[in-house]
Amino acid sequence: MDLNGLTLTAVKKGLLKKDFSSVELVKSCLSQIDKFDSQINSFITVCQETAIKQAELSDEEIKNGNDLPLLGVPIAVKDLFLTKDVRTTAASNVLKDYIPQYDATVVEKLKDAGAVIVGKLNCDAWAHGSSGENSDFGPTKNPWNKEYIPGGSSSGSAAALASGMCIASTGTDTGGSIRLPASFCNVVGLKPTYGKVSRYGIVAMASSLDSIGHFTKTVEDNALFLNVTAGKDILDATTPDIKVPDYTKNIKNGLRGIKIGIPKEYATKKEGIDENILRVFGDSLKQFESLGAKIIEISLPHTEYAIACYYIIQPAEVSSNLARYDGIRYGNTRQNFGKEAKRRIMLGTYTLSSGYYDAYYKKAMKVRTLIKKDFEDAFNKVDAMITPVSPTLPWKLGEKINDPLKMYLSDIFTVTANLAGIPGLSVPAGFINGFPVGIQILGKHFSEELLYRIGYAYEQETKFYEQKPNL
Amino acid sequence: MKINVSNIAKLANLALEDNEKKSFEDQLSEILNYVEKLKELNTDAVSETSQVTDLENVKREDKTTPSLSQEEVLSNTSSKHNGFFKTEAILTE
């Protein structure tokens, strides 16, 4: 197997045993980018020279016996994360020439852990979208079928990883932007608990919902990555001062006795839900049962209000966060906003404007309380929940681009976790007509350790992650 | 639901083209009609949620730390003068 196809766990072993060098590994990722990214369009910027230089330094460190969690490992970063001296665009023309003066906290942590940053990944501009098509740098293609979308907004993060162009990648999830592309591209994606990972230095979308996560090839890889990024940051007041455990420690403890809830609102035949997805989901439940978990039907009664609630709160916060882009201190003028950003700014400005605030924003914040309470009640009965990630398979490029409401409804199973602030782990669950399908494991606030344990047991049984797209 | 797109664009400091105005008016109205759904719920006795993990009054020590240099801060603007950002005049005599 080529080096770029290895998991993070395997890469760490190989580097330590000196089976291969960081330079060889980084070069194999760069050559994969070179060969295939003209078709996939997952990168906005590739850091060829600095990556090789950093890999050489890493090989020195390894030779000197130093060991860091990500030493010499090629990582790619969503282009929403500020990287000192490397252009950061948010995939928007507004920031197309912006060179950050500092690193995001997560980028700093990755660098401190020895990671080699290979490049900046494409996404929907400002993370607005479910398909990746809202990028001002062109849409990213799904590596499993290049006429289809890879899911968004972290489109490049999932597509590049599935294509073997990096060993792990970062993303942001405000309403499903990590879990949806992970599920559409057959990789593992974590949306951590709100505040578990610092948002400092990452272009803000909707501040009460934004979660900073990542994509990996396996569940164990994902836990290793969170070991590096999680924790208190004095520069983000929403990060609680809770000790970061070793997320890999209990990962192999199995599922015996674990109670898993299935929200009936997510798992029943309804308009808009693909029957094949329900079938794959049903198959996954049988696996969980055979692994010793107890499956319990539960109810999240306010589910049908989630999208409406989300599409008030999120654009309101977007309009406020994007007000800073005036083209004076950095970036280009507001004329450079694309259609979707303008649409959300307008929607948010309207719902926050005088006379409408109570009817829209305040109402939505109350409904948010009800949605959050649904989860609290359910978690009194079960340890975690499992649901489909997307109601449909990936769609064709262009299919929903002129129908924003239809596009918004594809987030129906993912936005609730953001409204409630809980973590969600998307893991591969099979294929339909050659397209990957994912399931998400949801848990209480700060229950990432348990989510990994559940995801790991399922993944080891099914091994869907071993299947790779034919580029 | 009728929405005054020109007025909202002015509040949001966005310049819209004429063809955009029409499509935004239709699309925003459709979205606003959809979110009307929330009115079905009685929320009189429900309080609002804006912070989900129950953190309160997060403070840090009031200590100064190094910040970016003036040169770094100005490195991304095309409009500066004597070490300051230069903007259009807001007030005139």
Please report, as a single letter, which amino acid is at residue A210: D
- For the question of residue A177 being annotated catalytic, the response is yes
Residue-wise pLDDT for A336-355, tens only, equals: 999 999 999 999 999 999 88
Q: Is A272 left (phi over 0), alpha (psi -120 to 50) or beta?
A: left
B16 touches chain A (CB under 8 A): yes
Identify the residue among A329, A362, A405, A448 best suited for mutation to test binding to B, counting B beta carbons within 10 A and taking the highest.
Answer: A329
| HEC assignment per residue over chain A | CCHHHCCHHHHHHHHHCCCCCHHHHHHHHHHHHHHHHHHHCCEEEECHHHHHHHHHHHHHHHHCCCCCCCCCCEEEEECCECECCECCCCCCHHHCCCCCCCCCHHHHHHHHCCCEEEEEECCCHHHCCCCCCCCCCCCCCECCECCECCCCCCHHHHHHHHCCCCCEEEEEECCCCCHHHHHHHCCEEEECCCCCECCCCECCCCCCCCEEEEEECCHHHHHHHHHHHECCECCECCCCCCCCCCCCCCCCCCCCCCEEEEEHHHHCCCCCCCHHHHHHHHHHHHHHHHCCCEEEEECCCCHHHHHHHHHHHHHHHHHHHHHHCCCCCCCCCHHHCCHHHHHHHHHHHHHHCCCCCHHHHHHHHHHHHHHHHHHHHHCCCCCEEEEECCCCCCCECCCCCCCHHHHHHCCCCCHHHHHHCCCEEEEEEEEECCEEEEEEEEECCCCHHHHHHHHHHHHHHHCHHHCCCCC
- For the question of residue A78 being annotated catalytic, the response is yes
- Option in A329, A345, A405 nearest B77 (CB): A329
Residues of chain B contacting residue A370, judged by C-beta atoms under 8 Å apart: 41, 43, 46
Residue-wise pLDDT for A188-238, tens only, equals: 999 999 999 999 999 999 999 999 999 999 999 999 999 999 999 999 999
Our count of domains for chain A comes to 1
Catalytic residue from among A58, A177, A198, A447:
A177
Q: How far is B67 from chain A (nearest CA, A)?
A: 10
Q: How far is A18 from chain B (nearest CA, A)?
A: 40
Please report, as a single letter, which amino acid is at residue A343: R
Q: How far is A26 from chain B (nearest CA, A)?
A: 31
Assign B1 a pLDDT band (cuts: 50, 70, 90): low
CA-based nearest residue in chain A for residue B79: A328
Q: Tell me the mean pLDDT in the region A385-407.
A: 92
Integer Rg of chain A from CA: 21
B25 touches chain A (CB under 8 A): no
Please report, as a single letter, which amino acid is at residue A208: S
Least confident of A343-357, A446-460, B29-43, B50-64: B50-64
Q: How far is B93 from chain A (nearest CA, A)?
A: 23
Residues of chain B contacting residue A312, judged by C-beta atoms under 8 Å apart: 35, 38
CA-based nearest residue in chain A for residue B28: A347
Q: How far is A282 from chain B (nearest CA, A)?
A: 30
Chain B (56-75) residues lying within 8 Å, Cβ to Cβ, of chain A: 58, 60, 68, 72-73, 75
Q: Given a cut of 90, is residue A120 above it in pLDDT?
A: yes
- What range does the domain containing A240 cover? 3-466
pTM, full prediction: 0.97
Assign A408 a pLDDT band (cuts: 50, 70, 90): confident
Residue A231, in any domain of the structure: yes
Assign A102 a pLDDT band (cuts: 50, 70, 90): very high
- Alpha-carbon gap, residue A152 to A181, rounded angstroms: 5
The ipTM value here is: 0.94
Q: Where in chain B are the domains?
A: 1-42
- For the question of residue A390 being annotated catalytic, the response is no
Check which CATH number belongs to the domain holding A370 and give it.
3.90.1300.10
CA-based nearest residue in chain A for residue B17: A335
CA-based nearest residue in chain A for residue B19: A339
Identify the residue among B38, B54, B74 best suited for mutation to test binding to A, counting A beta carbons within 10 A and taking the highest.
Answer: B38
Residues written for chain A: 471
Identify the residue among B34, B37, B39, B53 best suited for mutation to test binding to A, counting A beta carbons within 10 A and taking the highest.
Answer: B53
- The set of residues, in sequence order, having a beta carbon less than 8 Å from that of A400 and lying 6+ positions away, is A131, A406, A407, A410
DSSP state, B21?
Answer: H
Inspect the interface and report whether the beta carbons of A369 and B13 lie closer than 8 Å. Answer: no
Residue A80's pLDDT is: 98
Inspect the interface and report whether the beta carbons of B34 and A309 lie closer than 8 Å. Answer: no
Please report, as a single letter, which amino acid is at residue A404: P
CA-based nearest residue in chain A for residue B39: A363
Q: How far is A201 from chain B (nearest CA, A)?
A: 14
Residue-wise pLDDT for A239-251, tens only, equals: 999 999 999 999 9
Residue B60's pLDDT is: 86
Whether residue A104 contacts residue A81, with contact meaning beta carbons closer than 8 Å, is answered with: yes
Q: Tell me the mean pLDDT in the region A319-335.
A: 96
CATH of B1-42, one of 1.10.760, 1.10.20, 1.10.8, 1.10.1200: 1.10.20
Whether residue A348 contacts residue A316, with contact meaning beta carbons closer than 8 Å, is answered with: yes
A426 HSE (CA, 13 A, CB side):
32
Least confident of A39-48, A159-168, A293-302, B12-21: B12-21
Integer Rg of chain B from CA: 23
Residue A405's pLDDT is: 83
Please report, as a single letter, which amino acid is at residue A194: Y
Look at the alpha carbons of A353, A302, B33, A136 in this order and tell me if their dihedral is positive or negative: positive
Assign B88 a pLDDT band (cuts: 50, 70, 90): confident
Whether residue A207 contacts residue A315, with contact meaning beta carbons closer than 8 Å, is answered with: no
The residue with tokens 């994360």 is A81
- Alpha-carbon gap, residue A60 to A395, rounded angstroms: 46
Whether residue A163 contacts residue A471, with contact meaning beta carbons closer than 8 Å, is answered with: yes
Q: Given a cut of 80, is residue A137 above it in pLDDT?
A: yes
Q: How far is B79 from chain A (nearest CA, A)?
A: 7
CA-based nearest residue in chain B for residue A196: B53
- The set of residues, in sequence order, having a beta carbon less than 8 Å from that of B72 and lying 6+ positions away, is A101
B45 touches chain A (CB under 8 A): no
Assign B50 a pLDDT band (cuts: 50, 70, 90): confident
Strand pairing report for A384-388 and A259-263: parallel
B26 touches chain A (CB under 8 A): no
Inspect the interface and report whether the beta carbons of A367 and B5 lie closer than 8 Å. Answer: no
Inspect the interface and report whether the beta carbons of A365 and B73 lie closer than 8 Å. Answer: no
Residues of chain B contacting residue A326, judged by C-beta atoms under 8 Å apart: 13
Residue B3's pLDDT is: 86
Centre a 10 Å sphere on the Cβ of residue A271 and count the other Cβ atoms it contains. 5
Assign A271 a pLDDT band (cuts: 50, 70, 90): low
Residue A1's pLDDT is: 59
Residue A471, in any domain of the structure: no
Please report, as a single letter, which amino acid is at residue A380: N
Assign A404 a pLDDT band (cuts: 50, 70, 90): confident
Q: Given a cut of 70, is residue A71 above it in pLDDT?
A: yes
Residue A362, in any domain of the structure: yes
Residue A278's pLDDT is: 94
Residues of chain B contacting residue A360, judged by C-beta atoms under 8 Å apart: 35
Residue A267, in any domain of the structure: yes
Whether residue A233 contacts residue A206, with contact meaning beta carbons closer than 8 Å, is answered with: no
Q: Tell me the mean pLDDT in the region A4-16.
A: 97
Task: Single out the residue of A309, A307, A304, A335 nearest to residue A404, CA to CA.
Answer: A307
- The set of residues, in sequence order, having a beta carbon less than 8 Å from that of A164 and lying 6+ positions away, is A2, A4, A5, A29, A32, A468
Q: How many CB pairs under 8 A join A and B?
A: 137
Q: Given a cut of 90, is residue A406 above it in pLDDT?
A: no
Strand pairing report for A168-173 and A74-78: parallel
B11 touches chain A (CB under 8 A): yes
Residue B42's pLDDT is: 96
Inspect the interface and report whether the beta carbons of A208 and B39 lie closer than 8 Å. Answer: no
Residue-wise pLDDT for A285-322, tens only, equals: 999 999 999 999 999 999 999 999 999 999 999 999 99
* Structure token pair of residue A67: 């060991």
Inspect the interface and report whether the beta carbons of B34 and A346 lie closer than 8 Å. Answer: no
- The set of residues, in sequence order, having a beta carbon less than 8 Å from that of A134 and lying 6+ positions away, is A91, A124, A125, A128, A152, A153, A338, A339, A340, A341
Residues of chain A contacting residue B48, judged by C-beta atoms under 8 Å apart: 362, 365-366, 368-369
Q: What is the mean pLDDT of chain A?
A: 96
Q: Tell me the mean pLDDT in the region A392-414.
A: 90
Residue-wise pLDDT for A171-194, tens only, equals: 999 999 999 999 999 999 999 999
Inspect the interface and report whether the beta carbons of B12 and A360 lie closer than 8 Å. Answer: no
| HEC assignment per residue over B24-89 | HHHHHHHHHHHHHHHHHCCCCCCCCCCCCCCCCCCCCCCCCCCCCCHHHHHHHCCCEECCEECCCC
* Structure token pair of residue A185: 């591209």
